[in-house]
Structure 1
Amino acid sequence: MKPETLAIHSSRMADLNAGAVTPPLYLTTTFEREADGSFAYGYLYSRNNNPNRDALEKSIAALEGGAQAIAFSSGQAATMTVFQTLRPGDHVVVTQDSYYGTPALLEELFHPWGLTYTRVDMNDLDALRASIHENTRIVWIETPSNPLLKITDIQAVAGMAHEAGAICICDNTWATPVLQRPLELGCDVVMHSTTKYFGGHSDVLSGALVFKEEGEMYQRARRLQSIGGAVPSPFDCWMVVRGIKTMTTRVRAQAATARQVAEFLAKHPAIEQVHYPGLENHPGYAVANQQMSLPGAMLSIQVKGGAEEATQLAGRLQLITRATSLGGVESLIEHRASVEGPNTATPPNLLRISIGLEHADDLIEDFRQALANA
């Protein structure tokens, strides 16, 4: 089936009580045994599994083309579980420009525990090759990256990881399976903060891992989740399933608008640089064209001046909301360096923009008036 059809039908559940078209919400924490002690429907306790979580995991796996998916209480919980599958003494290679929470997990939680890691520019394949050691277990890709929208050649990096006997994992949050399918390009696991485009309305926190094969890492991650309890609530799962049904339409519309906004900002004299892989001058433009169907709905801009000028520009916007996160129906903007804190490598004049479903003309006009006084 095509993505639009999968998004609607992959989470269908049979309601034997009323024949409801929309999946029922199963708020129960426990499930009744049969007289012989068995579980007729396969459910024991909601920390282990739940009908709403099963429906969500089935849908996410189908959309990414994976064998199995595991839904989590957040994207960070999903990422943390990946690293928990490793052992002290193992090594991880992670992309240099990545969501700041990923290296924070490695440095603050797992490095003291005995895990080592190296951050590397994934566009420099020689540097990547030099960073992979005998004890490297995971090569972690994020493309497009957060917040500079760097593009990684998934197929090339996955091939290099596999040559060394490592697993290649891609954070596909910004692209979604609508625009990019890393498992088809050689990755073994995909991570999503499904808080973003899957939910799509800035009202539910959740994450997911999608596995190409139902192998050892999947089994261990599933067990770790069951023991640790980093599970989404039934209502969270129900909300994300609802968001998935419109995701393909939303993401494509947002990407089309983002291109227009990026083109406008790229021509404005008050803007130093626009980071958007849909622009021909972007260093990753050719690779993005090969592995993405559209360049996405995220962009970052560097305002001429510094942090003060960037903050002032964001403050003059009237339609675009100043807030963290992304992927919702409303457009958001944030001064990224101040969010990431004193150890950030993000340029101080950078603003990260998540394009929503407003009309492109209205968003451009909002930037036009804000930039008029720049």
Structure 2
Amino acid sequence: MRSNSDHGEHQEQPDGSHTASLGFDTRAIHHGFDPAAFKRAVQPPVFLTSTYGFESVEANDAAAALGGRLYAREYNPTTEILEQRLANLEGAEAGVVLSTGMAAFGTLILSLLSQGDELVVHKTLYSNTVAMVEQGLPRFGIKVVPVDLADPSKLDAAITERTQLVYFETPVNPLSSILDIAAIAKRAHTHGVKVAVDSTFASPALQRPIEHGADIVLHSLTKYISGHGDTLGGALLGDAETLYRLHETGLRYITGATLAPHSAFLILRGLKTLSLRMERHGTSALAIARILEAHPAVSWVSYPFLETHPDHAIARKQMAQGSGMLAFGLHAGFDGARTMLDRLKLLTRAVSLGDTDSLIYHPASITRARQSVRKDAHMISGVGDDLIRLSVGLEDVNDLIGDLRQALRGL
């Protein structure tokens, strides 16, 4: 979006160059912010303003020339710090933050694709993304081509001269399967097509898709990066030219999905403990996955860092740890899943993920409930009636294991 050398008119913004050679955790705390530039405040201020005043017409003109720094929809100092920090951590040239993860997806697609263009996606996606690609994009004349990207060679037949983008998640929601970013990017780039990866399940602490050949990274900042379940947000990160287009065309004129500055502050606060939290999430999730895998009531478990996971080798290649997300099914199927969830006393029945609290839900139950008001509601490809998704939080892992064991008793 904006290069790190662009500065505001009244407040010099640090370019972060002094942190360039420092470690991930140090950059997560310091990059893009110098207290000396903000009256020595240690924490980034929250700029609650809808517009900006200028000392002269010339200064106003200069702000407009810097990419429309005239109005809070298109520029805010607090959100700019977050954009610079996220881009740095992902190894991207630039970033833009938005109001939600779905706002990020909408901005990405509606900025880069037009009527007659084609979008290749993995066959399994987050449920609201599925609704967008099945119902929303066809209305605008954009053709969506679902492909099983577990076999990257299938891209050769799927990509045409109209294909503008290949989009997928890894780890995949809610299956916790893993797609090979490098292999997919290599195939797509052979055809001159960009690759965008939703890396929400991993966060930049565990996986940086650009290092494996991806062009654009998407995050729901609501999840691990914020990490506390108290705000919404989304991000797009990549090369400066594409991100400038996503900001100037998408955020300013198409979606207008601006991230509130207070939300940016909360996400910056969460970002400072990202590595610590991800280590705990992953350690606890692996312990729980092993317990579940050995439990007689459990028919299958999907967690990338389990040695039995079919994508274990790929996960080890492109992820530092397995994250806190796992999926599993019971021999008792749909009814057993509902019984187990109702017995839980500590884990929270909720649909989000990446919080300090452990969250668990049963997609098939939600889908059946939605069908009473939306006849077209359906299960995502590859997701069965038995699948339970668990986002492992930061509680004492023995307490979580105890709660799961008592809920599974007799099933």
TM-score tier after normalising by the smaller chain length: over 0.9
Query: How far is 1:125 from its partner?
Result: 2.5
Can you list the C-alpha shifts for 1:353-373, whole angstroms capped at 9, x where unaligned?
A: 001101111111111111113
Of 325, 328, 338 in structure 2, the residue corresponding to residue 301 of structure 1 is 328
- Residues 340 and 408 in structure 2, CA contact (< 8 A), matched pair in contact too: yes
Match in the other structure for 1:54: 80
Of 310, 325, 338 in structure 2, the residue corresponding to residue 283 of structure 1 is 310
Query: How far is 1:130 from its partner?
Result: 1.6
Q: Does 1:344 align with 2:379?
A: yes
Of 356, 362, 377 in structure 2, the residue corresponding to residue 335 of structure 1 is 362
Q: Does 1:26 align with 2:52?
A: no
- Residues 171 and 191 in structure 1, CA contact (< 8 A), matched pair in contact too: yes
| Letter in structure 2 aligned against 1:3 | F
Q: How many Å separate the matches in 2 of 1:11 and 1:311?
A: 47
Q: Does 1:292 align with 2:334?
A: no
Q: How many residues align?
A: 372
| SS state at 2:252 partner | helix
Match in the other structure for 2:4: none
| Letter in structure 2 aligned against 1:6 | R
Normalising by the residue count of structure 1, what TM-score does the alignment of the two structures yield?
A: 0.96
Match in the other structure for 1:76: 102
Segments of 5+ residues of structure 1 without an aligned counterpart are: none
| SS state at 1:38 partner | helix
- Residues 97 and 150 in structure 1, CA contact (< 8 A), matched pair in contact too: no
Q: How many Å separate the matches in 2 of 1:75 and 1:163?
A: 29
| SS state at 2:257 partner | coil
Match in the other structure for 1:35: 56
Match in the other structure for 1:225: 251
Q: How does 1:106-255 map to 2 (within 5 A)?
A: 106-211=133-238, 213-215=239-241, 217-223=242-248, 224-227=250-253, 228-255=255-282
Query: How far is 1:37 from its partner?
Result: 3.8
Segments of 5+ residues of structure 2 without an aligned counterpart are: 1-21, 371-376
Query: How far is 1:17 from its partner?
Result: 6.0
Normalising by the residue count of structure 2, what TM-score does the alignment of the two structures yield?
A: 0.88
Q: How many Å separate the matches in 2 of 1:219 and 1:88?
A: 21
Match in the other structure for 1:264: 291
| Letter in structure 2 aligned against 1:369 | Q
| SS state at 2:160 partner | coil
Of 95, 99, 103 in structure 1, the residue corresponding to residue 126 of structure 2 is 99
- Residues 13 and 55 in structure 1, CA contact (< 8 A), matched pair in contact too: no
| SS state at 2:40 partner | coil
Of 360, 384, 390 in structure 2, the residue corresponding to residue 353 of structure 1 is 390
Can you list the C-alpha shifts for 1:295-326, whole angstroms capped at 9, x where unaligned?
A: 11100111112221101101111110000110
Can you list the C-alpha shifts for 1:253-273, whole angstroms capped at 9, x where unaligned?
A: 110110000000000010011
Query: How far is 1:77 from its partner?
Result: 0.5
Q: How many Å separate the matches in 1 of 2:85 and 2:39?
A: 22
Query: How far is 1:11 from its partner?
Result: 4.3
Change beyond 3 A, Cα 1:92–1:16 = closer
- Residues 35 and 43 in structure 2, CA contact (< 8 A), matched pair in contact too: no
Query: How far is 1:126 from its partner?
Result: 3.2
Percent of paired sites with the same residue: 39
